[in-house]
């Protein structure tokens, strides 16, 4: 009538002279904490053991909190400065200062007027915020009893809501002893006794010995810890959804290189060689390799001609062969435009138009990194190659693809050197519209002179922001990359 674990614990207790600490039992048993807890509670219910149970409260500080515990909370640091006089808002740019402003305002310790941050009267008289004092106290170490007293206090709740601390309440068991009744139980070693089965084993099923017997009832309220899931990355899942949306609209997936000569990224796409996007402030150039080979000279010569004619400046092969990390995935679709149009010019029946292609991949921009800006990010590019394709068809395609993943988009005029007309694509984000990227009809200067009025619809759009609009628990796109194990566990469930 005892479960295997129950028998095990009784043996351990008996072996230790009838009593033991929880930790001792846990170590000796070699089974998990949840299992030990369950078995102890079950034994106690049967009157086989006695034990002292009490609630234990545990606090865990985040890395951010540990840093604040030594330096002070951002609002305290800022308030200290404000006591010497108001500060221009425009000079408070760091993430930490932004946090400080937010909390000073919500605590009524500072206010904003005329672009300046001023301490309020209350702020001038506040030496230290209660939250800061509490954080420092907790960081020094608090007992479970002290924490229990603090539970429910607004300062503790504030620290919790700011994800600076996390509090876990559990059961603490001590002083476990075998009772007289238990001493009798301990003698029984059988997995089942009489008519009651404890553990249904393979052996029990195969022998059929369970027939006509009762099953002992388990304590269903025993505490267990949450299982840890392993699931797809939220960004990977979004990429999968987007791929399905493209598939549903008849698109074929293509891919291409990350490291490219500037030729495929800029020159082929009619971006003039002195365009600001090609400056070192915006694009990553590589040192090894420094240069990459250009494609066949027929193409290079025609690109040179088109640039020199229309941009009225010399076109330089050296600039086009610089090796760079692609700043957009349009280089992938661009290579296909060239390939398809080139083949169609040789053989008009090479393909049945329209052709639809898409790609999803990383792109890189030389940003000053902060919590809002990534240097590595995902982009998707799509093209439709056909005869006489129109803006109306471009709009329809994008509306459908994004509707498929639950995103509303709208269009407005914009400028990119390789499309004309140019379109900015915006997505609805709550009550606002956010820019996702650009689209348009690829210029003749890129596609070249073709038969049968072949033209190309194209777009290049960001991806990360979609995730922010779909998943409110993700606060910033930078969270998506290089995440901690805890973040991946939490955010992959939703």
Partner 1 sequence: MPTSVHNKNYLNMLLGFKLNDTELEKLLNGLGMSLEKNGAKEIEVEYQANRPDLISTVGLARAIRYFTGRKRSFNYKLSGYSGIVVNINDNVEKVRPYIACMLVKNVKFTEDSLLDLINSIDKLSETFGRHRRRIAIGLHDAKRIEGNISYGVYPNEQFEALGGETEKYSDILENTEKGKAYAELCKTESGYCALKDSKGAMALIPVINSERTKISESTSELFVDVTGTNRYAVYSAANLLATNFIDMGFNVYSVSIMKRGSKTMLTPSLARQRIEVKLERFSEEIGTHIAFNSVIGLANKMGYEAALRYRNIAFNVPAYRLDIINDQDIIEDIAVAYGYDYIMPLPVVSFQQGSLDPHEETLDTLRSIVTGLGFSELMSDYMTNEKNNFLLMHVSSGNGSYIKIKNAKANTITMLRTWLLPSLLNSMSRSQHDKLPHRLFELDLVFSLQRSTPIEQYHLACAISDDKVDLNEIKSIMYTLLNAVSADAKAEIRPFSSGAFIEGRCGELLVNGKRFGIFGELSPVVLEGFGINAPVIALEIEL
CB 51: neighbour CB atoms within 10 A?
16
C-alpha span between 451 and 470 (Å, rounded)? 44
Helix (H, G, I), strand (E, B) or coil at 363: strand
Among 56, 444, 448, 476, binds partner 1 (CB under 8 A): 444
Selected binder of partner 1 within 228, 346, 430, 449 (CB under 8 A): 228
Helix, strand or coil for residue 419? strand
- Taking the complex as a whole, how short is the minimal distance between the CB of residue 474 and partner 1, in angstroms? 13
Q: How many residues bind partner 1 (CB under 8 A)?
A: 94
The tokens for 82 are 């404000």
Which SS3 state, helix, strand or coil, does residue 43 take? Answer: helix
- Name which of 429, 425, 438 is nearest 327 in CA terms: 438
Q: The tokens of 11 are what?
A: 């043996």
Site for partner 1 in 117-176 (CB under 8 A): none
- The SS3 of residue 462 is strand
Which residues ranging from 230 to 269 are in contact with partner 1 (CB under 8 A)? 230-233, 235-236, 240, 243, 246-255, 257-259
Pick from 127, 415, 452, 494 the residue near partner 1 by CB under 8 A: 415
Quick check: 223 binds partner 1 (CB under 8 A)?
A: no
Smallest distance from partner 1 to CB 187, Å: 34
Of 281, 297, 316, 473, the one binding partner 1 by CB under 8 A:
281
Rounded-to-integer distance, Cα 82 and Cα 74, Å = 12
**Residues 254, 482 contacting (CB under 8 angstroms):** no
Tokens of 9: 């614990």
Least distance from partner 1 to the Cβ atom of residue 225, Å: 8
Beta-sheet pairing, 196-197 with 214-215: parallel
CB of 184 to partner 1, least distance (A): 37
Of 240 and 406, which has the nearer Cβ to partner 1?
Answer: 240
Which residues between 340 and 359 bind partner 1 (CB under 8 A)? Answer: 352, 354-356
Pick between residue 182 and residue 438 the one whose CB is nearest to partner 1. 438
Beta strands at 376-387 and 454-462: parallel, antiparallel or unpaired: antiparallel
Q: Which stretch binds partner 1 (CB under 8 A): 8-16, 84-92, 183-191, 282-290?
A: 282-290
116 lies in the site for partner 1, by CB under 8 A: no
Span 284-323, contacts to partner 1 by CB under 8 A: 284-290, 292, 310, 312-313, 323
C-alpha 411: how far from chain center:
28
422 touches partner 1 (CB under 8 A):
yes
Stretch that binds partner 1, among 50-58, 78-86, 130-138, 277-285 (CB under 8 A): 277-285
Q: What angle do CA 354, 358, 364 make, to 5 degrees?
A: 145
Stretch that binds partner 1, among 11-19, 31-39, 83-91, 396-404 (CB under 8 A): 396-404
């Amino acid at each position: 009538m005892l479960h295997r674990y129950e028998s095990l614990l009784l043996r351990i207790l008996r072996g230790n002279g009838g009593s033991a600490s929880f930790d001792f039992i846990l170590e000796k048993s070699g089974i998990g904490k949840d299992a030990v807890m369950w078995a102890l509670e079950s034994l106690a219910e049967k009157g086989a053991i006695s034990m002292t149970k009490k609630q234990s409260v545990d606090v865990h500080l985040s890395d951010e909190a540990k840093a604040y515990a030594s330096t002070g909370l951002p609002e305290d640091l800022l308030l200290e400065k404000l006591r010497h006089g108001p500060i221009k808002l425009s000079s408070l740019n760091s993430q930490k200062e932004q946090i400080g402003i937010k909390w000073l305002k919500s605590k009524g310790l500072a206010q904003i007027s005329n672009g300046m941050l001023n301490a309020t009267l209350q702020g001038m008289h506040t030496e230290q915020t209660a939250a800061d004092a509490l954080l420092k106290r907790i960081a020094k170490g608090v007992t479970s009893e002290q924490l229990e007293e603090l539970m429910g206090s607004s300062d503790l709740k504030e620290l919790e809501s700011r994800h600076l601390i996390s509090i876990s309440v559990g059961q603490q068991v001590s002083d476990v002893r075998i009772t007289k009744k238990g001493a009798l139980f301990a003698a029984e070693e059988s997995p089942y006794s009489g008519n009651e089965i404890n553990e249904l084993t393979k052996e029990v099923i195969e022998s059929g010995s369970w027939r006509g017997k009762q099953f002992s009832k388990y304590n269903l309220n025993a505490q267990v810890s949450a299982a840890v899931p392993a699931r797809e990355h939220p960004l990977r899942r979004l990429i999968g959804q987007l791929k399905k949306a493209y598939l549903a609209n008849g698109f074929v997936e293509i891919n291409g290189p990350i490291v490219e000569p500037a030729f495929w990224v800029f020159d082929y796409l009619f971006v003039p060689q002195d365009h600001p996007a090609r400056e070192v402030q915006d694009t990553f150039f590589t040192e090894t390799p420094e240069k990459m080979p250009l494609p066949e000279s027929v193409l290079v010569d025609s690109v040179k001609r088109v640039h020199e004619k229309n941009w009225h400046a010399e076109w330089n092969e050296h600039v086009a062969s610089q090796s760079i990390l692609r700043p957009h995935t349009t280089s992938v679709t661009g290579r296909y435009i060239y390939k398809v149009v080139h083949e169609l010019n040789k053989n008009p029946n090479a393909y049945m138009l329209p052709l639809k292609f898409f790609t999803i991949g990383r792109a890189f921009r030389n940003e000053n990194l902060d919590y809002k800006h990534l240097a590595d990010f995902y982009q998707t590019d799509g093209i439709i190659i056909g005869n006489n394709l129109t803006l109306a068809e471009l709009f329809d395609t994008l509306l459908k693809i994004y509707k498929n993943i639950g995103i509303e988009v709208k269009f407005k005029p914009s400028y990119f050197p390789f499309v004309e007309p140019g379109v900015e694509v915006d997505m609805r984000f709550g009550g606002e519209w956010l820019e996702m990227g650009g689209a348009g009809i690829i210029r003749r200067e890129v596609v070249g002179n073709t038969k049968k009025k072949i033209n190309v619809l194209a777009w290049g759009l960001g991806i990360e922001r979609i995730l922010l609009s779909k998943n409110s628990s993700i606060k910033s796109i930078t969270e998506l990359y290089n995440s901690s194990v805890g973040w991946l566990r939490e955010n992959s469930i939703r």
